[in-house]
Structure 1
Amino acid sequence: MNEAHPQDHDPAHDRDEAGPSRRSVLWTAGAAGAGLGLGGLGTGHAAAATSSATTPTTADADAVPAAKGKTMIGVPFEPRSTVRVGIVGLGNRGGSMIDLFLAVPGVRVVALCDPVKEKTAQAAKKVTNAGQPAPAVYANGDHDFENLCKRGDIDFVYVATPWDWHFDMARTAILNGKHVGVECPLALRLDELWELVDLSERTRRHCLQLENCCYGRNEMRVLRMAHAGLFGDLLHGAGAYNHDLRGLMFDPDYYEGPWRRLWHTRLRGDLYPNHGFGPVANYMDINRGDRAVQISSYGTPALGLAAYRKEHMPPNDPSWKESYIESDRTISLVQTAKGRVIRLEHDVSTPHPYSRINSLGGTKGVFEDYPERIYIEPDQSNDEWGDFAQYADWDHWLWKDHANPPGGHGGMDYMLVFRLAQCIRLGLVPDFDVYDAATWTAPVPLSDLSIKAKGAPQKIPDFTRGLWKKSRPGMDSEKPEA
């Protein structure tokens, strides 16, 4: 992002896939009717199919079901000269990301889906203005994405809709033979995460969490430095999504529905761990030689949104019917198999500057972001922070090749789309896989369980089924020859 500029509230800034009012109402109707309790967690996408579902338990997390197919670790995409993409969701996030898909060579946007016809028309015009053929449009109700996924001329489905629908849309894409990439979070329940892992393995289709923060310039530089041993033996890291969203969550033109604010009436845990967890997991080679084993979470009282509502919202506003239970700040500690500790934070309902924390420490030194600073022996001494800019030679090759990338969030969004398309076109193994997606999202339900249990540790499933013990490539990729 570089979201070192938190005052920038462009539509893609916080990458939460809110759409306009009608779409938010349509695509979150199930969630709104699921009630305020945790029994509705993750069931809004298909309430009829999951009405008897309950919140995952510690036992669920501890169980490792038998594999229903071969692992997707190390599985490359099928090479193709043109990447044919279908986009589902054209609100704030999808409506801006389409620009980047159109900007990357070798990508063709074939089909678009959103129940708000005005949004599909605007997006279709972008496609034709870019010199591509007019895309097929799917705007006939909530489930028209199913028809998009049935097309035979789509290689990759990109999902940028409210959270409630991520699981159902990813599942539908996979079952129709498509690779799929989903905005955060991947799903909202442990059983849903396991189902996507199983489906990916059984169908040989990739299911990816499109975590843009992994492609930030600072994150990729720290990644390369960590893997080169500059921090010594890694000991601890931290990541967060601390972003004051109070104004946006009560803005009728941004999160209307209001699909995102309603999640604060259902959960107490970390609703959005991926931005912080993904980069630190990459630094520590989680699922590639180490594993996230358990999580303990704590939450403050839920006071921020109610206080903001009291000060800013009129007495007849619908929000006065809502009771907020989401902790204003959640703090989680993740323990890894090697004994390392990762701290995760989430806070979108109190006043503070934007921060993803993004820190990493080892036996030779530490990096901390927001603001960026570094202390590595023997380069620094006398307890004075060093200048991180002096380590620009450690930039990832993507940032050396694209010094001034287009798009939002400081260029990381473009890097994500460019690298994804490159992997598909050249038939490469993706930088991260379904096991990473499931691991980075698991804190959503598990942090809630831990907070309810007064911080009791919750076991994080081994989605790799033991294959995490073997080191393998990830985000720290080599530049392809082609």
Structure 2
Amino acid sequence: MPEIPAVSRRLLLGGALAGGTVALGAGSARAQPAAPGAPLPVPSPRRGKGQRPMTDVPFDVHKTVRVGVIGIGNRGSGMGEGWAVVPGCRVTAVCDIRESRAKALADRLVALGKPRPAEYGGSGDAYAKMLERDDIDLVYIATPWEFHYRQGRDALLAGKHVLVELPVATEIEELWDLVDTSERTRRHLMLSENCSYGRNELAMLKMAHEGLFGDVTNGHGGYLHDLRELLFSDTYYTDSWRRMWHTRSTASFYAMHGLAPIAAAMDINRGDRMTVLRATATEPKGLADYRERFIDRSHPSWKETYVNGDLVTCLIDTAKGRVIRAEHDVSSPRPYSRINSLAGSRGIFEDYAGSSSTGGRIYVEPDHSGHAWRDFDSYRKEFDHWLWKKIGDDAANNGGHGGMDYVLQWRTVQLMRAGLVPDIDVYDSAAWCSPVPLSVKSLAAGGRPVQVPDFTRGSWVNLRLGLDSRETNMPPVA
């Protein structure tokens, strides 16, 4: 493990990055053969001829960001309307395999007083025709998981920037291909990780980077959401696509919502990186039990066998000796939680706990007393991210999931209009989604540790900005 000196994020945010990135030390991108008991290796191909890194590559300036939407189900429908209300953004094309959905979204946009977008649909390849248009700058993909990789890659090859819902791909080889395709086409592919823009998450990030937790040592995040009723619904997930994933493999399918904010606070890919993952899983009991009690025997789900463990837990080591715990459970009765906890040498923050209006609690030196938690309210007010201060009211009025959908969309559009570097790049997207295939590999080997690829191919040692942006870094946009 390379020795990495501590570097103040205050120094970086104060302008040390103006002349470039700050190198933390050398790191070997070459994997060594695995010894018995050593982490299992995974593919880590060399950068191809003609490829160049996409770190710190800004968008071209766009006066208006023109968006094409692929996938208009539960997620794409709401986000499609969300794009239309972001200043400086226009939805120019919409696509769904069911033509009626494309028409319905187009009708709603017209009802909002927006120009009618072009409509595509009727087949699984209809999106390819949409990608031929020259009035699309950003493609937003909200289809079932199995289509994300192909559609994202095709959009890059069509010369578009891409924002993809979770996960961007489900195989290591696919993640590498998206990285390589982004580098070849010089177009950004970004994970649509709305939770990274949550108000508590961004406040936690700011606190971590200003040293409130001291040296950060560990974090805990995940996606704990009782989806059983929706998974067995005949209408919510088209063709029950999400339930079908539980019949295919045991994996941490969707832990990115909790993993990504922890990774950002730890500067993953920006001074630290994930190195080793090991996974455990409980038995798959929840869906079968729910079906037994609530689903009629005539329902097609009775032909299915569920193999994905109810709770899949990944323990992830980092190059700086930190540990991340990422959990995924959508099959058990429990309150919703992304956990969102970060700890260090001077304190700890826990979300989804306590009775404060923010839902968080905190214990940091020297403020704690009597070994008791304190409400997070005053801390969030002090460390509230500038994005929420600036557009929080707009987010509350226009965005789902407490407004963080709108913050994600607004920030993405304004980054493109101002010609800035994306907060979340293809390397973040690949790293945050890698626990999907890596958990499969670890569990198949009885929980053996697995190497986490360095998708940056060595540039993780360079400190650079990400979600820890400052309003002063952003030129005014109308």
Structure 2 residues not aligned, in runs of 5+: 1-38, 354-359
Question: If the length of structure 1 is used for normalisation, what is the TM-score?
Answer: 0.87
Tell me how far apart the structure 1 counterparts of residues 223 and 250 of structure 2 sit (CA, whole Å). Answer: 15
Deviates more, 1:292-301 or 1:379-388: 379-388
Please give the alpha-carbon distance, in whole angstroms, between the structure 1 residues aligned to 2:151 and 2:107: 24
Q: Give the match for residue 366 of structure 2.
A: 378
1:387 aligns with 2:375: yes
Q: In 2, are the aligned partners of 1:213 and 1:279 still within 8 Å (CA)?
A: yes
Amino acid aligned to 2:461: K
SS of equivalent residue, structure 1 residue 297: strand
Bigger Cα displacement from structure 2, 127-136 vs 173-182: 127-136
Alignment-derived partner of residue 465 in structure 1: 457
**Unpaired stretches in structure 1, ≥5 consecutive residues:** 1-56
Deviates more, 1:129-138 or 1:292-301: 129-138
* 2:285 maps to 1:296: no
- For 1:336-347, what aligned pairs fall within 5 Å after superposition? 336-347=318-329
User: TM-score, with normalisation over the residues of structure 2?
Assistant: 0.87
Secondary structure class of the residue paired with 2:371: coil
1:263 and 2:245 matched:
yes
Instruction: Give the letter aligned to residue 441 of structure 2.
Output: L
Corresponding letter in the other structure for 2:99: K
C-alpha offsets along residues 424-466 of structure 1, whole Å, 9 cap, x if unaligned? 0010000010000000000001111111212100101000000
User: Matches of residues 265-414 of structure 1 in structure 2 within 5 Å?
Assistant: 265-371=247-353, 372-391=360-379, 392-404=381-393, 405=395, 406-414=398-406
Quote how far apart the aligned CAs of 1:80 are: 1.2
Displacement of 1:60: 2.9
Distance 1:301 1:473 in 2: 41
Paired with 2:277 and 2:338, the residues of 1 have a C-alpha distance of 19
Name the counterpart of 1:85.
67
Alpha-carbon distance in 2 for matches of 1:245, 1:130: 31
Instruction: Give the letter for the 1:255 counterpart.
Output: Y
Shift of the alpha carbon at 1:64?
3.5
Q: Paired residue for 1:448?
A: 440
- Structure 2 residue matching 1:381: 3-state secondary structure: coil
Paired residue secondary structure (2:463): coil
Cα-to-partner distance string for 1:229-259 (whole Å, 9 max, x where unaligned): 0000000001111101111100111124111
Shift of 1:382: 1.3
| CA distance, structure 1, for counterparts of residue 70 and residue 251 of structure 2 | 27
- Computed over aligned residues only, the root mean square deviation of the Cα atoms, in angstroms, reads 1.1
Q: Give, in angstroms, the shift of residue 133 of structure 1.
A: 2.2
- Decide whether the 8 Å contact of 1:64 with 1:461 is kept in 2: no
Superposed, 1:217-236 pairs within 5 Å as 217-236=199-218
Q: In structure 1, the residue corresponding to 2:218 is in which secondary structure?
A: strand
1:417 aligns with 2:409: yes
Q: Which letter does structure 2 place at the counterpart of 1:300?
A: T
CA contact (8 A) 1:297 1:455 kept: yes
Output the CA distance in 2 between the equivalents of 1:390 and 1:201: 43
Question: Mean Cα displacement is larger for which, 337-346 or 386-395?
Answer: 386-395
| Map 1:51-62 → 2, pairs under 5 A | 58-61=40-43
Q: Residue 254 of structure 2 contacts residue 436 of structure 2 at CA under 8 Å; is this kept in 1?
A: yes
Q: Does the 8 Å contact 2:47/2:180 carry over to 1?
A: no
- Measure how far apart 1:58 and its partner are: 4.0
CA deviations on 1:277-322 (whole Å, 9 max, x unpaired) are: 1100000000000000010000001111111111111112111111
